[in-house]
Structure 1
Amino acid sequence: MAELLPLTEELSCSICLEPFKEPVTTPCGHNFCRSCLDETWAVQGPPFRCPQCRTSYQVRPQLHKNTVLCSVVERLAIVEQARAPGDGWTPPVRAAAPSTVAQVACDHCLKEPAVKTCFVCTASFCQEHLRPHLDSPAFRDHPLQPPVRDLQRRKCPQHNRLRDFFCPEHGECICHVCVIEHKTCSPMSLSQASADLENKLRYKLTIMYSQINGASKALEDVQARQQGVQEATNRKIEQLRQEYLEIKALIDASEASSTRKIKEEEKRVHSKLDTIHQVLLKKKSEIQALKEKIEDGLKEGDEFEFLEKASKLQGIVTKPVYVPKVELDHELIHCVYQGTLDLKNELKRATRQLQERKPKEAPGPGNP
């Protein structure tokens, strides 16, 4: 997997940090998921800027699908799926079916523990009462299985037959009579369906681990950006404070107004980033919870119990992490700062003119 890591990073969207999904190319040559770029520009509005190089477009560019890049991403996904999960992660192993010899009683004598269960007779038998199945040719076509608990629960409530098939289209176990009603579906044996769903859940689990890693990186990025916003505003406020030291006695109110505008801008951006941070935390928590459920499901040894849980978990869809672009309004900050410089120069000019006029306006000795 290590040799594919650089290629994986090159084939990841810089907005959602996930492999490209329907990649499109901007006029400046950068690639993004179509949905990520659409959502970013919908929030941003005109002028539309490239999230990577910040190139500005007054009119929203026409985007076209990058078919070559899409094909490469699909091929990489197939390669990654075929490889065993690595990077220190070991998929959970399903527990073996527990031994139930001492837990299932013989249905004939109700005393001795059962050693086999007959799915044709739908009953479990101890060693003594199993003899007819072993000795008599009449029971030769009765398949015997290890003792099974709660056979009644495994029966089809409609046809009173054991449910020994699974319908993927409806996500339920069915009996051989139900197969006729599901003729347009693709029923399969319990063991085959269990193996198929287990493989799908394992693959889904690898994707979820990747999404969790993406969410963690996104959270770190948001925290770093919050720190950067705070440092940027602190530096600008300090510059303003140095300028106002010269004119503080005359324009205390102006200094307070300018500082308030920048603080409000910081609060606005910080609030948006904090909201994004909370959403990411919640999404990560939801994915983590679903991951734990899948891991618990994969430890279920009983195929029947596993299929009932796995079919529900397989239907739950998780979405990749999306972090919209939120930045300080540097134009606003620059205008505030430039206004301060202009005001200082204007005050200096006015003060100098006033000082130059004083000798002329001062009354002479002979003047009243």
Structure 2
Amino acid sequence: MATSSGDSSILEEELTCPVCLDLYRDPHLLPCGHNFCLPCLRRLKTRSAHGQLRCPECRQSHRSSVTWQKNFKLANIADSFRRRGQSEHSSHSRSSLSHTPTEVRCDYCPINEVENDPKAVKTCLKCEVSMCQKHVQPHLELPAFREHPLVEPLNDMRKRKCMEHDEMFRYYCLDERLLLCNACTIEGTHNGHSVKTLKNAMKDLKLHLDIQLHKVNRKIVRAEKNRQEQKEIERQNKAYLDDTDQQLDSFRETSIAHLDAFLASVRECIHTYEVEQGGGVQQNLARIAQDQTHLLEVHSGLERFLKESDPFQFIRDYNSSAKRYRRLLRKPLFFPDEPTVDTEPLYEIMEGKMAEFIAELRQHTSTLISSVCHFEGDGEEEVDEDDEESFEDDYNDSASEVEDEEEEEMRSEEEEEQNHSTGQESADEEYTPEEDEDDEEDD
């Protein structure tokens, strides 16, 4: 088999984790002195029994609660080797002309044979060799190689070998989920465990995956059905909201029109009442204006008498006008009655207008609520007993079919509904509605 024999190969082997068969990543020490990657130790801890973690190298048991110490020097060496390997890999990929880095060379063909392109097509796990199309023919044709397992070309056979016994992995422990060789099964460390060959383990796991795939497909169909149902509900809700908005807009316009008509009728009633009540006031104002005119006449005449300096002229004017002024002063002033506004007729008229407006508004509101909530009257036709029995039979048949097909899902839905109803009942008990108060007052 074609393997590297330099110091780099030895160093890489020393820096490889025995569990994941990859270079150390964050290596930690067990009390027994062996190093493992921290994620590998955590996986082993999750599979440990009775709080005991068994070392994959020496099989020594340790407490799972023991704190692992990080090996800083080993971590630095592994990181440096990994970076150097990546740089060498990139330079090799640029300089390689005959084959790509993923290709595996044939172990039988000479290294310097470039013309025949000695690229391996199969690897024999029993012979531990990689073969090209020419050298793999005996394994395919001769009966002696019939039991030799052939796999895709492997570049590193160590990934298929047990690090402890240097043998090929041929078994799989289902309890510890570990790959085993013949020596691992003979030593007895897995006594009582469920151990199967790799082929049978793969067959069982694939069967399990087929079951899981079937369940996933069923759930995908159910999820798509639920999505379509919710989409349809969303569409119906949107259509319902749009229709409700249109009805509310129409109701608003109708209500505003009725309110304007009601206010116009009330304003007309008030103006009519004002005209009727304003006639008497105008008459009173006219009589008061007459009294003011007479008094102003007397006031100006008396002032003229007092300003007169000629005795003859004063006596002459006094004899001619004093009698008339005295008569005007003796005339009593007009005192109108106290203003009383009789609003009872106006109140009756406005109350009638209000009753008509409220009746129309209640009618339109009831029509709107019935249209929005799809309310149906109580005068429904009675259902025939035979129809009820046939409906119940159909319902029971469909319910039994659903229970037979999806019993587990129905059980989970019932539990969720019970939890929801319990929370709803508790919320209803805590809720105490307040009584409405009527604050309307008639002016």
TM superposition score normalised by structure 1:
0.35
TM superposition score normalised by structure 2:
0.30
**Which one scores higher on RCO, CA 8 angstroms, separation ≥ 6?**
1
